[in-house]
Chains A and B, each alone.
Chain A
């Protein structure tokens, strides 16, 4: 198995390299200059800005900057943030728990709601439950998450006063503050994911439930619960795992909008503000970080296939 993992990782390296190189040049070629933002925008003189550019090494040709950056990046050193004056790794790892809380919790909610709802609606095919879950999933996918976020704040924070309107409290300040700040963001983020997972679970369950061996199992007099759980669900699990993996990667990206709506200081907001301020080291480091996570999740999904169904081999 380890051979397989190593092989997969190796296979991703050229891809990551291509994209990272493109990102490097793209961010630096376009107009916009971190030196200006750093100096402040009201009275900054051009001499002052030129001085800051020299300090940051931005006066060198882009190719030279790239050749300096690349060997360091390979060793895992992405330099220091232009604005925070801290190593990129440190800035990112400070934010990571925040985004992980948001993405992880919404994944949890997604699974807890989505899988049972999908199973039930496949099982009770064409009943009211099924119709409800279909409507729920189609609507959930269609609503823009940021818009839903605003509506939730309007209703539940402003009018009912149940939850805080925005912000984030680390778990170290206590469970209640942590969770109460996350309830609305998690709902906004997971709505589409729940919808997607419900849909996928339902359709793959339906497919399996139509198969001959299920009919046989039923004919053998197995209880309905046993049929659904043991045979149907286990076979549908491959789909569920695939979707869950995809959803996690998606929610890392989707958190960008939600973090902006709820003022959550996570990776997504960091990346947007870094892109806007042209904090190149953060943008580059962050993109590689995200790629790494996506890659890791991909791997987990692949490995879990073989756990679910040992007949599958590592060779593709």
Chain B
């Protein structure tokens, strides 16, 4: 029995060691705080990303984490401003014809590429043509017929249909942004995903990439900034840092621990359960990321049970959004109840049709199931494992559906299988994903019959057509409201919650404009105070 007691002792000892270590607080490594005297040039910024790069060709994918890095390297005709409105970036001036079918852009002069070449209208034409061909977002701009080089610094777009504000938005959108690169490079790699060289006009230039390890940018010494005041992604940009290293760190907790150990200066995608602790920790600062992300449940409108509107209404009635929100994120700061399909940060946010939102009414759900004649068929609910919030939201919604008597088959997949399965109308009944749409027009890509789920309707198409050419905000706002009501009445999707992301930085990272807490990382005008 001697040996047994020894084993037990060892086990207990191990356990207590673990507990002690969990309880034990941080060692007080306090650092002398010096008053900052203004921006300092120099230093290396270490950023921890959560996932590795599918490709370095930003134009060919809307996948992450490309925007986080490439926003420092590339610039487009427009960039997002502080209010998430498109603001001029490489454009100086623009004009729209009366019929809204011709747009003319005057380019900034004297802008240099990282390879030293000056940017001209030729580069803009070649880059945008490549973008229109290889970008998942670019291909939706079907109306663009031709890009004409008017002069060295003027380009003109010809459209088949009238195009309004939507054009600027699609050019400025963060994911798969329409960026300008040298003509030679754009033409040398016509295929998406096979860019030979990463050369842009941004304040930082590409330096080195080691697959799944890190990507390094260095300061572009000959950067020519705009003269207007800094405005989130555009305006005057200064590259204070010598270089920026993006480390790929898949485990969330090692990102946090690395931040506290000063291995990383900025970390992305943290579980919000870390928020309270980070807020009270020395030398670090948690950042709630805006805008809020809409988590939405998409149905298969083409095949299966949910082609029946009563089935969709059943789910719409039974979903308890508060419970989903609470399961997705831990603290109240990170979720919000909002019936709108536009995030609270959007000017289009409205409570139109909110009677359909967050009902949590199981009985009403059962009635709709009866109307639909549901007989206990298994529902294929696809779940993406790699996104913790979506993963948890799916589990919660599935439990709510089970409570109403729907037989749910949760199917967990990795990204590759998930995207393949959801595109197959026979393999998918529903799935949850997330995103934000700051403008009603942008919904057209997902809810125009092409995107998995395949929702479309004559009424919504009509609204999208009107939106494409409408420029007056008040009228657009009304159209946006109409779109929201239609989406709710037809149950295009179910709004299952809004949540905010969490990033964090060390306090030595100075970000006077608060850019780091907006959407994707924007690191110009950021400097280190060490």
Contact = CB atoms under 8 A, between A and B. Distances in A.
Given A43-B445, A159-B21, A131 B415 contact: no
In this complex, which of B29, B192, B247 has the most chain A Cβ atoms within 10 angstroms of its Cβ?
Answer: B192
A265 B419 contact: no
- With a 10 A CB-CB cut-off, give which of B29, B62, B191, B193 has the most chain A CB atoms: B193
B254 A166 contact: yes
B39 interface: no
A263 B248 contact: yes
B136 A166 contact: no
B54 interface: yes
Given A37-B416, A43-B446, A273-B52, A265 B213 contact: yes
27 contacts: A30-B417, A31-B417, A31-B421, A33-B416, A37-B419, A38-B55, A38-B61, A39-B136, A40-B54, A40-B61, A43-B446, A45-B139, A46-B423, A49-B423, A55-B191, A85-B193, A91-B211, A94-B211, A155-B21, A158-B260, A160-B27, A166-B257, A167-B263, A265-B211, A265-B212, A269-B212, A276-B415
Contacts of A270: 212
A69 interface: no
A202 interface: no
B251 A38 contact: no
Given A154-B18, A154-B22, A265-B211, A83 B55 contact: yes
Interface of B: 2-3, 6-7, 10-11, 17-18, 21-22, 24, 26-27, 29, 52, 54-55, 60-63, 136-137, 139-140, 175-176, 191-194, 210-213, 247-251, 253-254, 257-258, 260-261, 263, 413-421, 423, 427, 433, 435, 445-446, 450-451
Given A32-B416, A44-B136, A139 B21 contact: no
A34 B250 CA distance: 20
A246 B356 CA distance: 63
A166 B191 contact: no
A38 B52 contact: no
Interface string A68-106: 000000000000000111100001001000000000000
A31 B427 CA distance: 11
Interface in A257-302: 260-263, 265, 269-270, 273, 276-278
Given A36-B420, A139-B11, 7 more contacts: A41-B63, A45-B451, A48-B192, A85-B193, A265-B211, A276-B414, A277-B414
A164 interface: yes
B433 to A, nearest CB: 8
**Sorted from nearest, which 3 A-B pairs have the closest CB atoms?**
A40-B61, A40-B63, A166-B254
Contacts of A164: 258, 261, 263
Nearest to A44: B136
A39 B10 contact: no
A9 interface: no
Contact of A261 (B251, B416, B419): B251
Contacts of A52: 192-193
A138 B11 CA distance: 12
Most buried by A among B26, B419, B435, B451: B419
B194 A85 contact: yes
Contact of B27 (A34, A139, A161): A161
Given A32-B416, A45-B450, A85 B55 contact: yes
B445 A84 contact: no
Contacts of B175: 40, 42-43
Interface string A17-60: 00000000000001111101111111111111100100100000
A38 B61 CA distance: 7
A263 B24 contact: no
B445 A263 contact: no
A134 interface: yes
Contacts of B415: 37, 41, 276-277
Contact of B54 (A38, A91, A260, A265): A38
A110 interface: no
A219 interface: no
Contacts of A32: 413-414, 416-417, 420
A151 interface: yes
A39 B415 CA distance: 12
Contact of A41 (B10, B192, B419): B419
Given A94-B211, A263-B250, A39 B61 contact: yes
A121 interface: no
Nearest to B10: A135
Interface in A154-182: 154-155, 157-161, 164-168
B419 A33 contact: yes
B419 to A, nearest CB: 4
Interface in A106-132: 131-132
Nearest to B24: A159
B318 to A, nearest CB: 27
Contacts of B139: 45, 47-48
B267 to A, nearest CB: 11
Contact of A83 (B2, B10, B54): B54
A247 interface: no
A48 B419 CA distance: 13
A216 B1 CA distance: 35
B212 A273 contact: yes
Interface string A141-153: 0000000000101
B3 A161 contact: no
Given A40-B63, A43-B62, A265-B248, A151 B18 contact: yes
A203 B22 CA distance: 38
Contacts of A36: 416, 419-420, 423
Nearest to A43: B136
A34 B191 CA distance: 16
A202 to B, nearest CB: 15
Contacts of B176: 40, 43
Contact of B261 (A37, A48, A85, A165): A165
A33 B424 CA distance: 12
A45 B191 contact: no
A260 B250 contact: yes
